[in-house]
Amino acid sequence: MVQASLAVIGGGVTGLVAARRLAGAGHDVTLFEAGARLGGQVRTVEMLGQPVDVGAESLHLAGPNAQLLDELGLTDQLITADSSFAWIWDGARRRRLPAGMGPAGPTRMWPIVRSGALSPLGMARAGLEPLLPATREQRTGAQGDVSVGSFIGRRFGAEVTDRLVDPVLGSLHAGDVHRLSMRAATPMLAAKAARHRSLLLGSVRSAHPAPSFVTFANGLATLIDHILAGTNVRVRLSSPVETIARSGRRFRLVETGADGSEFDGVVVALPAAPALGLMQPLLGVDAAPLGTLRTASVATAVVAWDAASAASCDPLRATGILTPAKARTLMKAATFLSTKWPHLRHPDHVLFRLSAGRVGEQRVAALTDGQLVDQMVDELQRATGLTGSPLQAQVYRWPGAIPQLEVGHLEKLANVRAGLARLPGLALAGAAYDGLGISSCIASGHRSAEALIDELVLNEEAQP
């Protein structure tokens, strides 16, 4: 195969993986990143001499993650998270998150009963799930979309959705479970629903161990530092691409304040808003759905606390707290880093990671860093009984960073990609399209690179 000149726009996990795969196939690759660093929503900072991740916090040992880690020779450097439990706090009462409860709903009933998270009526309603007929979506096998909240509500009742699924899935996506797409946001739930009438009975029949969550001694920056190691990818930091234009069979990229360069193919690994700006001149109305994809702005506060004060706080034996949207708290989640991660335990201090921000909210933007810390620390103390005050706190803001994979998402993306199919050599990839989390980003980057490689082969074979 003839070596092609290729560009990747965006230096997050998706773009890095795409660039690595394209370079590995023997192509000449240039990666353009508008910011001053690589990694996107993976960012490791230092707090009192310890590495803390303030974007993505961990990855799990399954699927494309495990494959990439092996390929990079990083598997033996992994640190596994503590397997303790988490709390749910509704602003007034704190209860254990039931075992077997994940973003896609419950897999076991008895832990829910023991948790006290549901009212007697709510428990009775959830207990009917194995007896209920298949929902309309399950009966017809239709490709029509449904929200996670709607589907779980039909199977288990509204309390399971609002009190259990929302704190987990809603916190993860900073979203509204009554708008998040079952097919796009929770594909494993969609697959289970298609195979089994009852989700509880289906979980028993297809039970498998939950994946381990892992990181590195120096944080997830270790992964970012290794993805392009050993490749010939040229990295251009602080190099925002202003336009992409067709130039015969090639693409002409123009950077801010620089002359244009031509490439045989381009992977756009950007959030929806900047991707729309670059692709609309090429795709016209086919790019319009990108402008309808909502995002949430979030903030992370890393807080250090005196270890002696924290030692007497029994709730800190858990790994963290989740709050349902109906609680209306600013803090949507707290991770007790020094409990969860063995390498972050220190004799003098403990570390917390506090998160705020949900789709449609303006509170995070309206508050100063100091106000964010004060309010979330107050909520942390009310939720746990922790006494004292922070030794140190740092706030990191992520405006418009969390894409909302809402009902209709896959249909919108199908329209965009139908337009892309008429422009061979141009690909779109990233969390905004193919799912949140490092695993989804790795898979998206790899798929976009493979598709571009296949198109280059076909173009070469078609040449006289």
Is the domain of 286 the same as that of 410? yes
Domain count for the chain: 3
* Nearest residue to 433 (alpha-carbon basis) of 455, 405, 402: 405
Q: Does residue 213 fall inside a structural domain?
A: no
- Measured from the Cβ of residue 247, the count of other Cβ atoms closer than 10 Å reads 12
Q: Give the separation between CA 341 and CA 353, rounded to whole angstroms.
A: 12
What does pTM read for this prediction? 0.93
What is the total residue count of the chain?
464
Q: Is 215 a member of any domain?
A: no
Q: How far apart are CA 244 and CA 229, in angstroms?
A: 28
**Range(s) of the domain holding residue 170:** 101-205
What confidence score (pLDDT) does residue 208 get? 58
Q: Are residues 301 and 179 in the same domain?
A: no
pLDDT band for position 195 (cuts 50, 70, 90): confident
Highest mean pLDDT among 60-69, 190-199, 413-422: 413-422
281 and 152 within one domain: no
Q: Where are the beta strands (DSSP E) in 307-425?
A: 320-322, 331-336, 349-356, 392-403
Q: Write out the H or E segment, with its range, that includes residue 203.
A: helix 199-205
Domain boundary (370, 403, 436) is at 403
Q: Is pLDDT above 90 for 263? A: yes
What is the CATH number for 181?
1.10.3110.10
CATH of the domain at 381: 3.90.660.20
Nearest to 112 by CA among 58, 187, 150, 168: 168
CA 108 to CA 89: how far, in whole Å?
21
Contact 105, 152 (CB under 8 A): yes
Single-letter amino acid, residue 445 = G
Question: Which of the 8 DSSP states describes residue 288?
Answer: G
281 and 353 within one domain? no
Average pLDDT over residues 57-71: 87
Q: Is the dihedral of CA 267, 270, 272, 274 positive or negative?
A: negative
Beta strands in 170-256 (DSSP E): 213-216, 234-236, 241-247, 250-255
Cα angle 451-69-14, degrees, rounded to a multiple of 5: 40
Q: What is the pLDDT of residues 282-336, one digit of tens each?
A: 999 999 999 999 999 999 999 999 999 999 999 999 999 999 999 999 999 999 9
Residue 166: both structure tokens together: 């929302």
| Alpha-carbon 17 to chain mean position | 16
Q: Which of these three, 353, 384, 403, is where a domain ends?
A: 403
Residue 95 in any domain: the answer is no
Q: How far is CA 208 from the centre of its chain?
A: 22
Query: Among 13, 55, 38, which Cα is nearest to 399's?
Result: 55
DSSP state of 154: H
The answer on 304 and 264 residing in a single domain is: no
> How far is the C-alpha of 394 from the C-alpha of 341, rounded, in Å?
19
67 located within any domain:
yes
Domain assignment present for 90: no
Closest Cα to residue 5, out of 186, 202, 262? 262
Structural element, H or E, at residue 454: helix 438-462
Contacting residues for 36 by C-beta, under 8 A, at least 6 apart: 237, 238
Q: Are residues 252 and 196 in the same domain?
A: no
* pLDDT computed for residue 65 by the predictor: 85
394 and 311 in a common domain = yes
Query: Looking at the structure, do residues 195 and 279 belong to the same domain, yes or no?
Result: no
Distance from C-alpha of 86 to C-alpha of 325, rounded to nearest angstrom:
17
d(CA 333, CA 322): 5
What percent helix, strand, coil does the chain show, rounded to 5? 45, 25, 35
Q: Same structural domain for residues 132 and 188?
A: yes
The amino acid present at 197, given as its one-letter code, is R
Residue 392 lies in a domain: yes
* Helices vs strands, H then E, count in the chain: 20, 22
Q: Tens digits of per-residue pLDDT, 352-396?
A: 999 999 999 999 999 999 999 999 999 999 999 999 999 999 999
Query: Taking 60 as the threshold, does the pLDDT of residue 206 lie above it?
Result: no
Token readout for 231 is: 């490749």
Cβ neighbour number for residue 281 with a 10 Å cutoff = 12
Q: Which of 202-211, 406-415, 422-431 has the lowest mean pLDDT?
A: 202-211
Q: How far is CA 362 from the centre of its chain?
A: 21
